[in-house]
């Protein structure tokens, strides 16, 4: 198993977070240093929402997450404080509780340790700040730095002070009382924890959670090894409880490389003095922030004043708009009334027009009927004209026959010729009359009536000729 196979995002974690989980990796890897066919089941109590344990352990570790809050993740098992863990005895190969014990009141810690020991099969790993005077004083100092930089104390550190920090010797005994073999190791030199914690505060205040803060943490995590120094104050303790002596010896031998006798690169008192001076920068930052807040508040006041002016202008504008809307509604009402009156007039005109159109239609139909009648009359006239023409032709033949008659018929012939002349003249009149009729088809009824009168006259002449022809024909036959 590669010892430090972490990505850049993991190295960018806060120094204290990275170092504690890096050591979790070292401790678990010491006991489970080779992958197995069956996944190693780890119960992560107090897992939080960041899934930090998954970032540090390989895939063949099956991590079951549990906490008093699910943080919107239903896969996290919900726990109830001071109640039994909802798991069977020895259900998990490893149980870890990273920075949980110090957030449990002292009265509930014994029961918590018993429950975590009950459900673990091989290892119970507890991590917490060591309850020494140096650690408590250093936490108080960092909380004061938080006040200098942010203007308020750190809630987590205040809870440490309220509940009291666990002590590794006491925790070892409690694990042994549960039937486990116990040992504790120290981690994270106290001076580095304080210095880098303060730097994290300053970078957070100056840059927020940006790449500048990530770069600082990545530099510290890549540079500072997770070793503990003999004779040096450390911030954190890792208490390990296992079922067998062999597992305990394996862990002790595997973790030997984490111990060093090298002196700290800086004196602790010097580190405290340096931190005090750095924290003074926080005072300056906070003063600068206060000045910026003052300017911001003044801007907000000016903004509120401008906003009030704008509100007054908006009210005046809305009043003006209301007046315009009222005028518009009155105008619209007047226009609507005018529109209705015009529409009613148009409707009446349309009704009259429709009625006139219907009358016109009836008149046209009547004219069409009259035209049809005229056409029928014309057809009759044309028939009469044909008959007249035929009679005229017969008369021509008869005249030729009469020319060969006796001299005594000359007087009769002269009379006939006279009648013939009259007939020719009448025929010519008839021709002119027919032409007038053909041109008068589109005239009004009065023209048609006149036409019928002319026709009646023409028919009278025809009857005279017919009577004359019949009389003459009868004489000749005699």
Read off the pLDDT of residues 313-361 as tens digits, 9 standing for 90 and up. Answer: 788 878 888 888 887 788 878 877 877 887 888 788 778 887 888 888 8
Per residue in 145-201, pLDDT (tens digit) is: 777 777 777 787 888 888 999 999 999 999 999 999 999 998 888 888 888 887 887
Place 112 in a pLDDT band, splitting at 50, 70 and 90: very high
Distance CA 273, CA 285 (A): 19
Of 27, 56, 57, which is closest to residue 41 (Cα–Cα)? 57
Pairing of strands 120-129, 234-242: antiparallel
Distance CA 331, CA 322 (A): 14
Tokens of 55: 């970032």
Comparison of pLDDT for 457 and 239, the residue scoring more: 239
Identify whether the C-beta of residue 109 lies closer than 8 Å to the C-beta of residue 139.
no
Angle at 174 between CA 173 and CA 178, to 5 degrees: 110
Mean per-residue pLDDT, 275-281:
57
How confident is the model at residue 104, as a pLDDT? 94
How confident is the model at residue 398, as a pLDDT? 86
Q: Which of 52-56, 445-449, 459-463 has the highest mean pLDDT?
A: 52-56
Per residue in 46-78, pLDDT (tens digit) is: 999 989 999 999 888 999 999 999 999 999 999
Of 127, 123, 125, 126, which is closest to residue 246 (Cα–Cα)? 123
How confident is the model at residue 79, as a pLDDT? 96
Of 78, 393, 90, 354, which is closest to residue 242 (Cα–Cα)? 90
Place 2 in a pLDDT band, splitting at 50, 70 and 90: very low
Identify whether the C-beta of residue 129 lies closer than 8 Å to the C-beta of residue 236.
yes
How confident is the model at residue 286, as a pLDDT? 56
Distance CA 220, CA 228 (A): 16
How confident is the model at residue 1, as a pLDDT? 43
Mean per-residue pLDDT, 458-465:
72
Comparison of pLDDT for 262 and 87, the residue scoring more: 87
Task: Give the pTM.
Answer: 0.57
Mean per-residue pLDDT, 438-452:
70
Number of CB atoms found within 10 A of residue 293's CB: 12
Per residue in 122-145, pLDDT (tens digit) is: 999 999 999 999 999 888 888 887
Mean per-residue pLDDT, 461-477:
69
Comparison of pLDDT for 117 and 216, the residue scoring more: 117
Contacts of 142 (CB under 8 A, 6+ apart): 154, 157, 194, 197, 198
How confident is the model at residue 255, as a pLDDT? 84
Of 228, 224, 221, 128, which is closest to residue 185 (Cα–Cα)? 228
Mean per-residue pLDDT, 235-255:
93
Burial 234-272 (b: 16+ CB within 10 A, else e): bbbbbbbbbbeeebbebbeeebeebeeeeebeeebeebb
How confident is the model at residue 415, as a pLDDT? 82
Percent share of the chain, pLDDT over 90: 28
401 class by beta-carbon count within 10 Å (0-12 exposed, 13-18 middle, 19+ buried): exposed
Identify whether the C-beta of residue 192 lies closer than 8 Å to the C-beta of residue 161.
no
Share the mean pLDDT of the chain.
82
How confident is the model at residue 338, as a pLDDT? 76
How confident is the model at residue 395, as a pLDDT? 85
């Amino acid at each position: 198993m590669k010892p430090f196979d972490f990505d850049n995002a993991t190295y960018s974690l806060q120094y204290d977070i990275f170092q504690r989980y890096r050591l979790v990796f070292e401790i678990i890897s010491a006991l489970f240093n080779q992958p197995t066919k069956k996944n190693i089941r780890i119960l992560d109590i107090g897992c939080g929402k960041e899934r930090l344990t998954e970032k540090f352990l390989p895939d063949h570790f099956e991590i079951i997450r549990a906490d008093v809050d699910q943080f919107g993740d239903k896969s996290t098992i919900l726990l109830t404080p001071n109640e039994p863990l909802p798991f069977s005895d020895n259900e998990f190969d490893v149980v870890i509780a990273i920075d949980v014990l110090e957030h449990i009141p002292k009265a509930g810690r014994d029961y918590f340790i018993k429950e975590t020991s009950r459900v673990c099969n091989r290892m119970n790993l507890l991590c917490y700040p060591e309850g020494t005077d140096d650690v408590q004083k250093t936490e108080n100092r960092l909380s004061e730095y938080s006040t200098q930089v942010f203007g308020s104390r750190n809630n987590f550190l205040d809870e440490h002070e309220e509940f009291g920090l666990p002590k590794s010797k006491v925790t070892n005994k409690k694990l042994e009382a549960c039937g486990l073999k116990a040992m504790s190791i120290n981690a994270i030199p106290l001076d580095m924890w304080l210095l880098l914690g303060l730097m994290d505060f300053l970078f957070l205040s100056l840059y927020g959670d940006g790449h500048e803060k990530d770069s600082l943490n990545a530099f510290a995590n890549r540079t500072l090894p997770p070793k503990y120094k003999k004779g040096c104050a450390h911030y954190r303790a890792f208490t390990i409880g296992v079922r067998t002596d062999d597992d305990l010896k394996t862990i002790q031998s595997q973790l030997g490389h984490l111990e060093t006798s090298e002196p700290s690169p800086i004196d602790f008192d010097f580190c405290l003095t340096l931190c005090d001076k750095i924290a003074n920068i926080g005072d300056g930052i906070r003063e600068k922030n206060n000045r910026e807040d003052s300017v911001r508040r003044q801007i907000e006041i000016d903004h509120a004043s401008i906003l009030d002016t704008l509100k007054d202008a908006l009210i005046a504008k809305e009043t003006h708009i209301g007046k315009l809307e009222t005028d518009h509604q009155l105008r619209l009402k007047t226009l609507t009334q005018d529109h209705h009156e015009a529409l009613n007039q148009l409707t009446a005109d349309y009704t009259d027009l429709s009625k006139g159109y219907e009358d016109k239609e009836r008149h046209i139909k009547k004219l069409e009927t009259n035209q049809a009648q005229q056409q029928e009359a014309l057809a009759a006239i044309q028939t009469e004209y044909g008959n007249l023409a035929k009679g005229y032709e017969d008369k021509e033949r008869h005249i030729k026959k009469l020319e060969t008659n006796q001299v005594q018929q000359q007087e009769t012939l002269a009379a006939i010729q006279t009648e013939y002349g009259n007939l020719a003249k009448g025929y010519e009149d008839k021709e002119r009359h027919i032409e007038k009729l053909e041109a008068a088809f589109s005239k009004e009824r009065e023209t048609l009536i006149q036409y019928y009168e002319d026709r009646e006259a023409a028919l009278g002449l025809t009857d005279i000729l017919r009577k004359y022809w019949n009389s003459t024909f009868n004489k000749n036959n005699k």
